Chains A and B, each alone.
Chain A
Amino acid sequence: DAGVTQSPTHLIKTRGQQVTLRCSPKSGHDTVSWYQQALGQGPQFIFQYYEEEERQRGNFPDRFSGHQFPNYSSELNVNALLLGDSALYLCASSSLQGSDEQYFGPGTRLTVT
Chain B
Amino acid sequence: QKEVEQNSGPLSVPEGAIASLNCTYSDRGSQSFFWYRQYSGKSPELIMFIYSNGDKEDGRFTAQLNKASQYVSLLIRDSQPSDSATYLCAVKDTGGFKTIFGAGTRLFVKA
Chain A residues within 8 Å of B, Cβ to Cβ: 31, 33, 35, 40-45, 48, 50, 55-56, 58, 88, 90, 92, 99-107
Contact = CB atoms under 8 A, between A and B. Distances in A.
A107 B98 contact: no
Interface stretch (B13-21, B41-49, B54-62, B68-76): B41-49
Question: Which size class do B's interface residues fall under?
Answer: 20 to 34
Contacts, number: 58
Nearest to A99: B49
A45 B98 contact: yes
Which secondary structure dominates where chain B touches chain A? strand
B49 A101 contact: yes
Nearest to B100: A45
B32 A100 contact: yes
A42 B104 contact: yes
Contacts of B32: 99-100
Contacts of A92: 99
B43 A33 contact: no
Interface string B29-54: 00010101000001111100100000
A45 B96 CA distance: 12
Nearest to A46: B98
B99 A40 contact: no
B43 A90 contact: yes
A69 B103 CA distance: 31
Given A56-B96, A100-B49, A42 B101 contact: yes
